[in-house]
A and B are shown apart, each in its own frame.
Chain A
Amino acid sequence: MTTQQPVDAQAPTPVETIELERAVVKHWKAPISYAVLTLVALILMVVLGRDGDATLRLASRGDLFALPDAVLPARPTGIVVVILLAALTALSFWAAATVRRLGIWLPIVFGLLFVIGFLSWSGAGAMIPIAGLLFATVGLSVPLIFGAMGGVISERAGVVNIAIEAQLLGGAFTGAVVASTTGSTIVGVLAAMVAAALVSMVLAVFAIRYFVEQVIVGVVLNVLITGLTNFLYSSVLTDNPALNSPERLPKLPIPILEGIPLLGPALFRQSIIVYAMYIIVPLIAWGLFKTTWGLRLRAIGEHPLAADTVGIKVTRLRFWNVTLAGAVAGLGGAYFTLDSNGAFTREMTAGLGYIALAAVIFGQWHPIKAMAAALLFGFASALQQTLGAIGSPVPSEFMLMLPYIITILAVAGFIGQSRAPAASGKPYIKQ
């Protein structure tokens, strides 16, 4: 039908009251996910429940005031937690059925309850140092967060960044070598950023100038940088250990703040890279959504043709933003060799670049959410290490699998919404 006709012409019989049909879309995926998790909790904490008390040590040395240990009897705690989880799940079902929106508090409370229940169950008869767990969480999350920020910037600009792993690895290697030769850790950090930015430039040139499939470039770059750093490590660094012994960035505790129980040591007894992260992440979030730069960046990632029409130089802007993304990821690389480890080793990033990519997706391409996702993955990893030390009832491999499974569920639409920037992965060919 091409011509518009009045509605009356199609409905000759007059109806007295016209009921407009409302489109009601009910989302059942979230409640179903909660139900499955509650079931898991029920099986673990009640059916397979363990006896004994789990001692959560909340205090650490240097606290302003000491918190007492929290002693949780495993089985009763598990039962209480499962009942609360079931209540939250029921609430979620009710909200879905009546098409109500519940706040962000529901997943947070649900997650916290689940973690408390899980800790009391897995730590039954043992002591879990919570402050240490949080410290390890931050430590393991830092490279993930920087990598995820690199991913967010690049993908928001419309270039898929599978090469986060390569950027981290290249940054780690260069940081170690340059810091060792110059004797300055700050120069090392800057060199790491430059190296990762160079890796990013290769990605940008191939993706933007030559229209090569971006995922292919990313994967090949990962292989290339792995091979290159392995080659240089075996042929140069092993013979010249002086090239691979950088000074480590000093820990700079912030007075007073470091004494906050639980969080103080984890957040405020860190090196300059971690403090830089506290500034960079909000800065990126603010920049992306509140500045001209961010608006243009998002425009070229969502609809480059429209951006081009209003005079934004799509190709140039993409190129420099992908480069910037590499520089940010390079900070994460520097963290490996100049903060956490103190020397470069073969393939030391060990697939963390892919977890950072997972954090980008699970964080819905939003800097703050991606950081939260990275912290969650870092927590899972730290928990696996801690539980491994006290003898965990869950095989550590299952904890290690967690980030990947969560990501699969996220991209499959079971957890949250994952919608990539519309033009991400598509080259812009100007006519």
Chain B
Amino acid sequence: MNDRPRDADDPIEPGAQPRVGGSPDSGESPTVVHAPEEAEVAAPAVAPPTDDRRVDEDDVWGSAFRRIMSGNLVMALLAILTSLVVGGILIAFTDERVQETSGYFFARPTDMLAAVWDAVFGAYSALFQGSILNFSRADAGFAQLIKPLTDTLNFATPLIAAGLGVAIAFRVGLFNIGGRGQMLWAAAAAGWVGFSFELPPVLHVLVAIAVGIVAGAIWGAVAGALKAYTGAHEVIVTIMLNFVALWFITWMLRTPGLLQNSENNNPISPPMPESAILAPIFGPPFSLHWGFVLSVAAVVFCSWLINRSNLGFQFRAVGYNASAALNAGMDVKRITMLAMLFAGGFMGLAGAQQVTGSVTTGFTSGIDAGIGFDAITVALLGGSTPWGTFFAGLLFGAFKAGGFRMQAAEGVPIDIILVVQSFIVLFIAAPPLVRAMFGLPQPGRKSRRQRRDEAALRTMTEQQPKTEQKGEQA
């Protein structure tokens, strides 16, 4: 333990401070063999080191508390909590009974408070019962009790796959807003394979999904190639490609001979045959299908790809610092394109799951159901890691499953889910805001006690010789 407080002038020991430009996988300090990049030089200046070493023995718990409370998990939980509170306020505000009772709030405040409680508690208990456990049907048997949980997994299935499509792009420093277009192409391709060919049951659905993945990957790679070889910003390109895909698929859906169901005039595709539908895992009454297992497999694959494969290493290297990666001999353009290819592929899985699992009676141009955009929030909440995305997908799947019940039982429009989700992401993206709201310590900023001690020390060191520093602070 270092017994001397550190000044700004002290040399900074390597390894003691968090690196900003991205740390190599080994915890050791890197041997710089080339001319130092800008990020390597500038990093220590950007992040002031959180100085745990000079905390006194009796402040260990305080320090541990601070570290936990400024961690990512707590931030995520607080963000979710705050967003639910905001959602609750909106629900209460728009509730009719609350509006009536607020008219005579000062005469009988309990009426309004009870109405607020009824509205918010009713909505959120419906949300819970629609997504986790259904107590109202508990007497109908265990299956009915846990059926909402399987609904949640079902809704989470495409969210997880699509979330991976955003997360993997984030890791390469790319922002994939093109989920909608990629999912639409995948859905169209998988649907076309589904209703146009006759294949044996299991093979058929697998081929359909594979073709969907390829279609999504190609549409993603188009954006990646434009980014890599012309410098066009991927955000703009993917947004624009979304609309191009939307109108193209809309046209195909209303053109006989392409995707339109020949039996009517509506812009809708023919229904999927039995052989091209993902089978349920447990059978009735559960609707959970094998698509969920595919999503879990996708998470495992993505985790391996990012963390263990050579390509994933290059992905991360480009994401941390593209010029350093270029310097190290990586083909940044190729990596950019490949990253969007994989991102589109995961989106494609989500799109294919939609037509082979969720909407099997023929799809319209709304088949993506906003999942391409939800995926952004899923990936952000999941911290762009595969397993983080998995759990974030489960959470948002639960919101979706519960939201439908909330709408049906309590008359709260399901759009509130969108609001809560967006608030979660806004709060997640700005940890200082959440910390300020809950009065939590900001990392890098010293606690009040530390500041006080330091001030005392400074006055003492100015007055006394350096040898008598310790143990005398008031």
Contact = CB atoms under 8 A, between A and B. Distances in A.
A373 to B, nearest CB: 13
Given A213-B429, A219-B177, A224-B419, A407 B380 contact: no
A210 interface: yes
Interface string B220-253: 0000001000111101110111011001101100
Contacts of B430: 206, 210, 212
B239 A220 contact: no
B219 interface: no
Nearest to B96: A239
Interface string A290-309: 00000000000000000000
A230 B236 contact: no
Interface stretch (B54-62, B156-164, B409-417): B409-417
Q: How large is the interface on A (under 10, 10 to 19, 20 to 34, 35 or more residues)?
A: 35 or more
B433 interface: yes
A351 B422 CA distance: 18
A219 B166 CA distance: 13
B337 interface: no
B97 to A, nearest CB: 13
B415 A405 contact: no
B240 A358 contact: yes
A216 B241 contact: no
A358 B240 CA distance: 8
B422 A220 contact: yes
Interface string A232-247: 1011100100000000
A56 to B, nearest CB: 27
A404 interface: yes
Interface in A375-431: 395, 397-398, 400-401, 404-405, 407-408, 411-413, 420, 429, 431
A99 interface: no
Contact of B415 (A231, A354, A404): A231
A131 B250 CA distance: 30
A236 B251 CA distance: 36
Interface residues of B, number: 46
B432 interface: yes
Given A217-B426, A408-B240, A413-B232, A230 B175 contact: no
Given A220-B377, A404-B240, A408-B226, A227 B247 contact: no
B101 interface: no
Contact of B422 (A210, A223, A234): A223
Q: Among A221, A401, A408, find the residue whose CB has the most chain B CB atoms closer than 10 A.
A: A408
A230 B90 CA distance: 12
A362 to B, nearest CB: 10
Contacts of B432: 210
Contacts of A271: none
A226 interface: yes
Contact of B243 (A226, A230, A401): A401
Contacts of B338: none
A395 B252 CA distance: 10
B175 A216 contact: yes
A148 to B, nearest CB: 14
A324 interface: no
Interface string B421-433: 1110110011011
A257 B245 CA distance: 42
B94 interface: yes
Q: Among A202, A239, A405, find the residue whose CB has the most chain B CB atoms closer than 10 A.
A: A405
B415 A407 contact: no
Contacts of B94: 231-232, 235-236
Given A354-B243, A395-B251, A408-B232, A223 B421 contact: yes
Given A213-B429, A217-B426, A361 B419 contact: no
Given A219-B373, A401-B247, A227 B232 contact: no
A17 B5 CA distance: 70
B419 A227 contact: yes
Interface string B39-60: 0000001100000000000000
Interface of A: 162, 202, 206, 210, 212-213, 215-217, 219-221, 223-224, 226-228, 230-232, 234-236, 239, 351, 354, 357-358, 361, 395, 397-398, 400-401, 404-405, 407-408, 411-413, 420, 429, 431
23 contacts: A206-B426, A206-B429, A210-B432, A210-B433, A216-B376, A216-B425, A220-B426, A223-B373, A227-B418, A227-B419, A230-B418, A231-B418, A231-B419, A235-B94, A395-B251, A397-B250, A401-B244, A404-B240, A405-B240, A407-B240, A408-B232, A412-B237, A413-B231
